[in-house]
Amino acid sequence: MKTKTVAPFLKWVGGKRQLMPYIKEMLPDTFSTYFEPFVGGGAVLFDLQPEKAIINDYNAELVNVYNCIKNKPQELIKDLKKHKNESEYFYALRLLDRKEGFQKLSDIKKASRVIYLNKTCYNGLYRVNASGEFNSPFGRYKKPNIVNEETILAVSEYLNSGDVGILNCDFEEAVRSAKKDDFVYFDPPYDPVSKSASFTGYVSGGFGREEQVRLRDLCDKLDKAGVKFMLSNSATAFIEDLYKAYDVVHVKANRFINSNAQKRGAINEVIIRNYG
């Protein structure tokens, strides 16, 4: 039985809540283990709530939040209640990853900081600079939901009730154990629709076209091994050419990551599958 309170605990760039009707409609009828190598905010994972899953993200800060919610939810909630929705406090906390002692912070303190910054920063946008330092400005919200206790406890219960493995590695490594009849959902950083549209702020270093090609090559390997996969990306000519051997479905989704509100809106995306 699915639990409605199991839901994303962070707002994440490229979140899939809007695409869930399409994704659910195009899921395979059956599969064994569910893999999600770019889990992000977990919208697809938490909607499907598979009993057996392996999730992964290259962002170590994000993976630490997942682990803390799974293993120490009450400690995390307790620490979240200490935060203040004030500009000076926000920038002091944001500054911590630029100081030498940051790595000495406890896992709970680091996870609490990520959630706090995400809930109180401008547009709820997790973004890091080239050095991997959080750089979104203060959002000035009157009542941000910093301590979402119900969701944290529900997600913790889900992560512990089934067989859910949490990894922090490269996407290829994350699916190394995938075998025939397993299902992989890929939601990589999207191929930019224009030079100015590039958004590579999930982790330092970004995700360029060489990585997109490496991901396609991995999909080819999975396909040959009998592993079912679905992949979301932007509907660029580059992506459509990369995956021309597979089923490509065009969908539209509203995206809100542009700093200029007039440039936000519905954009073309693709959902790609290797099964019918």
Tokens at residue 175, please?
């699916």
- In a shared domain, residues 198 and 179: yes
> Is residue 200's pLDDT more than 50?
no
SS3 265: strand
What CATH number is associated with residue 99?
1.10.1020.10
> Is residue 203's pLDDT more than 60?
no
Nearest CA to 168 out of 9, 30, 38 is that of 38
Q: Are 202 and 37 in contact (CB under 8 A)?
A: no
Residue 13 inside a domain? The answer is: no
What CATH number is associated with residue 199?
3.40.50.150
Cα–Cα separations (whole angstroms), residue 141 to 77, 112, 176: 20, 18, 42
Q: Are 229 and 222 in contact (CB under 8 A)?
A: yes
Residue-level pLDDT at 266: 66
- In a shared domain, residues 216 and 189: yes
Q: Under 8 Å CB-to-CB from 204, ≥6 apart: which residues?
A: 128, 129, 130, 131, 132
How sure is the predictor about 205, in pLDDT bands with cuts at 50, 70 and 90?
low
Residue 2 inside a domain? The answer is: no
Residue 11 inside a domain? The answer is: no
Q: Where are the beta strands (DSSP E) in 31-182?
A: 34-36, 52-56, 163-167
Residue 27 inside a domain? The answer is: yes
Tell which of 120, 149, 178 closes a domain: 149
Residue 154 inside a domain? The answer is: no
- In a shared domain, residues 248 and 196: yes
Residue-level pLDDT at 27: 97
- In a shared domain, residues 49 and 142: no
- In a shared domain, residues 166 and 246: yes
Cα–Cα separations (whole angstroms), residue 247 to 22, 25, 186, 231, 250: 14, 14, 15, 10, 10
Cα 45 from Cα 24, distance rounded (Å) = 11
- In a shared domain, residues 39 and 142: no
- In a shared domain, residues 168 and 250: yes
230 pairs with which residues across the strands? Answer: 185, 273
- In a shared domain, residues 113 and 215: no
pLDDT digits (tens, 9 = 90+) for 32-56: 999 999 999 999 999 999 999 999 9
- In a shared domain, residues 84 and 139: yes
Question: What's the rounded mean pLDDT across residues 208-225?
Answer: 97
Cα 62 from Cα 40, distance rounded (Å) = 8
- In a shared domain, residues 56 and 142: no
pTM above 0.95, yes or no: no
- In a shared domain, residues 123 and 202: no
Longest pairwise C-alpha distance within the chain: 54
Residue 15 inside a domain? The answer is: no
Q: State residue 6 phi and psi, 5-degree precision.
A: -80, 105
> Is residue 262's pLDDT more than 50?
no
How sure is the predictor about 17, in pLDDT bands with cuts at 50, 70 and 90?
confident
The strands making up 228-234's β-sheet, listed across from edge to edge, are 163-167, 52-56, 34-36, 183-186, 228-234, 265-273, 247-255
Tell which of 149, 184, 205 closes a domain: 149
Residue 231 inside a domain? The answer is: yes
Tell which of 149, 177, 193 closes a domain: 149
Residue-level pLDDT at 197: 54
> Is residue 243's pLDDT more than 70?
yes
Please state the domain count of the chain. Answer: 2
Q: Under 8 Å CB-to-CB from 153, ≥6 apart: which residues?
A: 73, 77
Residue 41 inside a domain? The answer is: yes
Q: Which domain covers residue 124, as residue numbers?
A: 67-149
How sure is the predictor about 124, in pLDDT bands with cuts at 50, 70 and 90?
confident
> Is residue 219's pLDDT more than 60?
yes
- In a shared domain, residues 180 and 205: yes
Tokens at residue 231, please?
């992949």
